[in-house]
């Protein structure tokens, strides 16, 4: 568990970042109606940061590749010393493919949506990209590789050129047209001349020209499904996560976590099972699960009660008992009807070195140190201004929205989404007052206010909780703007090595850099 101290080991905290708009893909025009199948449901950078994948509710996976680093060599520190300014990350469309199709489970009379729930990149090999994608029931392992394009040469060639069958065209055909028609047809003018002036010789036509297939230097990415992992989950899959060993991965639903080998699609091992003997005794479900980034024997999963369990695969084959439990206890006086609903964790992420875990529930972000299970080291308020509106949010089911979270590669900042297509960025270093609200648009800072949110430290020296970002006005967002619960930013990802964020607003993919 000796992870890095990336989340605030230094007292010198960095200055707040100046976020700027970089790119947008799939931007909709004013008044344009968004199709349900085009709404983005998953975003993921690969470990190198050179590729980005998105999945949508129509079961499609779209890949983007970075273009600004093709001709860049040397370390970032070396480039900073040159006279040329560093360019922000720029991506371009690479390819897309249909990952999942709608299905129907006839045994349970259940429709299975094609919506992509999660995408996870696997290790690259031989210049090919590998990734896992899943809907509610089926996980697929994809290989994307550039293939050289094959072309068909012209059938009618000059006499000086060698034909596909090795023969040379006769001089009588040297003036023939170079036009190539479907199925080897000839233009009408040639047909007329043949019918009027040409008669078939008794010995037949001496030369038969065949089209020649050649391989060009151009390449095109081709996606191929290598494995399909199915029939292992009775409930909807909410998480998949690759292991650092490069050979295995986990998939989690509401009650079970299964361990798979990438090469074996017809067998998995159940490592966590929280299903009680009597379903009436069920008190919590699994909401998210993720492998430790460096230790292949460790993984964490969160629950609907707001707790995170760290388990060690070396302890037993069935990890019903956890090695560590992380939970933030509330005072009984603050409990209400909505307490358990808003405490449910929707997403967890390990920091790059594995020392810290970031969790997101409906109201806030929490940062946990895996070496300290007494409470979170930092807490960041995201939706505290919505607490008076919990009844309304419960009525329209918005209280059950699943917001994702992410950490920067250096571990100095965290981010998560909110309503009105807003997302928040917080600094996690001790003493940092960084609390930035951005909008998923070409002008991300237009919702900003000049007065920063100030931290208030907890009286408990044990938990060292820092609470930031709370708004005072109950009916508005963190910057005094009225919120729109119909436009929500659920999915976002932080570039692994640079301060760049990709986020999804409906069917549009926005990218920002600092």
Return the pLDDT at 453. 40
Which of 38, 52, 46 shows the shortest CA–CA distance to 116? 38
pTM for the model:
0.79
More confident residue, 168 or 388: 388
Return the pLDDT at 214. 79
Question: Is the confidence at residue 169, as pLDDT, over 50?
Answer: no
Q: Quick: pLDDT tens for 49-87.
A: 999 999 999 999 999 999 976 544 445 555 454 444 456
Return the pLDDT at 3. 43
Of the ranges 160-169, 273-282, 446-455, the best mean pLDDT one: 273-282
Return the pLDDT at 77. 52
**What distances in angstroms separate CA 102 from CA 38, 59, 136, 224, 233, one per listed residue?**
15, 8, 10, 19, 17
Return the pLDDT at 448. 54
Query: Which tokens hold the place of 469?
Result: 């970002």
Return the pLDDT at 206. 63
SS (H, E, C) 323-362: CEEECCCCCHHHCCCCHHHHHCCCEEEECCCCCEEEEECC
Average pLDDT value over all residues in the chain: 81
3-state secondary structure of 192: helix
**Spatial strand order in the sheet of 298-303:** 286-291, 298-303, 308-312, 324-326
- Residues contacting residue 335 through CB under 8 Å, at least 6 positions apart: none
Q: How confident is the model at residue 157 (pLDDT cuts 50, 70, 90)?
A: very low
Return the pLDDT at 275. 92
Q: What mean pLDDT comes out for the span 327-350? A: 86
- Residues contacting residue 491 through CB under 8 Å, at least 6 positions apart: 40, 41, 42, 43, 404, 417, 503, 504
Return the pLDDT at 423. 95
Q: What mean pLDDT comes out for the span 415-434? A: 92
Range of lowest pLDDT (107-111, 300-304, 414-418): 107-111
Return the pLDDT at 321. 85
- Residues contacting residue 151 through CB under 8 Å, at least 6 positions apart: 213, 214, 215, 216
Return the pLDDT at 471. 41
Range of lowest pLDDT (20-24, 216-220, 476-480, 504-508): 476-480
Rounded Cα gap, residues 158 and 292, in angstroms: 65
Longest pairwise C-alpha distance within the chain: 107
- Say if CB 246 and CB 130 are below 8 A apart: no
Rounded Cα gap, residues 348 and 252, in angstroms: 13
Q: Quick: pLDDT tens for 104-154.
A: 888 888 899 999 999 999 999 888 999 999 999 999 999 999 988 887 776
Q: Quick: pLDDT tens for 466-514.
A: 444 444 344 455 445 567 888 999 999 999 999 999 999 999 999 999 9
Return the pLDDT at 173. 42
């Amino acid at each position: 568990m000796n992870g890095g101290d990336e989340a605030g080991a230094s007292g010198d905290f960095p200055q707040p970042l100046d976020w700027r708009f970089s790119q947008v893909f799939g931007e909709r025009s004013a008044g344009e109606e968004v199709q349900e199948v085009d709404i983005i449901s998953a975003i993921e950078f690969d470990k190198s940061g050179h590729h980005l994948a998105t999945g949508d509710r129509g079961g499609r996976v779209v890949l983007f590749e970075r273009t600004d680093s093709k001709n860049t060599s040397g370390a970032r520190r070396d480039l900073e010393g040159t006279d040329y300014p560093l360019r922000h990350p720029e991506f371009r469309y690479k390819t897309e493919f249909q990952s999942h199709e709608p299905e129907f489970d006839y045994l349970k009379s259940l429709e299975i949506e094609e919506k992509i729930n999660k995408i996870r990149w696997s290790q690259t090999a031989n210049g090919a990209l590998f990734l896992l994608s899943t809907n509610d029931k089926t996980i697929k392992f994809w290989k994307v590789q550039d293939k050289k394009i094959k072309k068909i040469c012209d059938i009618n060639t000059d006499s000086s050129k060698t034909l596909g069958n090795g023969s040379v065209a006769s001089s009588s055909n040297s003036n023939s047209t170079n036009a190539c028609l479907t199925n080897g047809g000839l233009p009408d003018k040639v047909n007329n001349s043949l019918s009027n002036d040409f008669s078939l010789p008794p010995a037949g036509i001496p030369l038969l020209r065949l089209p020649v297939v050649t391989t060009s230097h151009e390449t095109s990415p081709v996606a191929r499904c290598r494995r399909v992992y199915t029939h292992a989950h009775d409930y909807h899959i909410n998480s998949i996560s690759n292991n650092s060993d490069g050979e295995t991965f986990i998939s989690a639903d509401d009650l079970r976590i299964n361990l798979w080998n990438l090469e074996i699609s017809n067998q998995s091992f159940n490592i966590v099972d929280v299903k009680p003997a009597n379903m009436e005794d069920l008190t919590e479900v699994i909401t998210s699960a993720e492998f430790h980034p460096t230790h292949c024997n460790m993984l964490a999963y969160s629950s609907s009660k707001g707790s995170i369990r760290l388990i060690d695969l070396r302890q037993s084959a069935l990890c019903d008992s956890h090695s560590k439990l992380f939970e933030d206890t509330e005072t009984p006086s603050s409990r209400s009807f909505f307490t358990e609903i808003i405490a449910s964790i929707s997403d967890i992420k390990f920091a790059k070195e594995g020392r810290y875990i970031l969790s997101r529930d409906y109201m806030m972000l929490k940062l946990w140190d895996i070496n300290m299970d007494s409470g979170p080291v930092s807490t960041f308020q995201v939706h505290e201004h919505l607490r008076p509106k919990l009844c309304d949010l419960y009525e329209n089911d918005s209280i059950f929205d699943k917001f994702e979270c992410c950490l920067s590669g250096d571990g100095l900042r965290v981010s998560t989404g909110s309503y009105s297509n807003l997302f928040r960025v917080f600094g996690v270093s001790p003493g940092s007052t960084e609390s930035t609200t951005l909008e998923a648009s070409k002008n991300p800072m237009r919702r900003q206010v000049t007065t920063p949110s100030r931290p208030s430290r907890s009286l408990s020296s044990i938990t060292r909780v820092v609470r930031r970002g709370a708004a005072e006005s109950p009916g508005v967002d963190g910057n005094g703007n009225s919120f729109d619960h119909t436009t929500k930013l659920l999915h976002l990802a932080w570039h692994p090595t640079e301060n760049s964020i990709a986020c999804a607003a409906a069917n549009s993919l926005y990218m920002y850099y600092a």
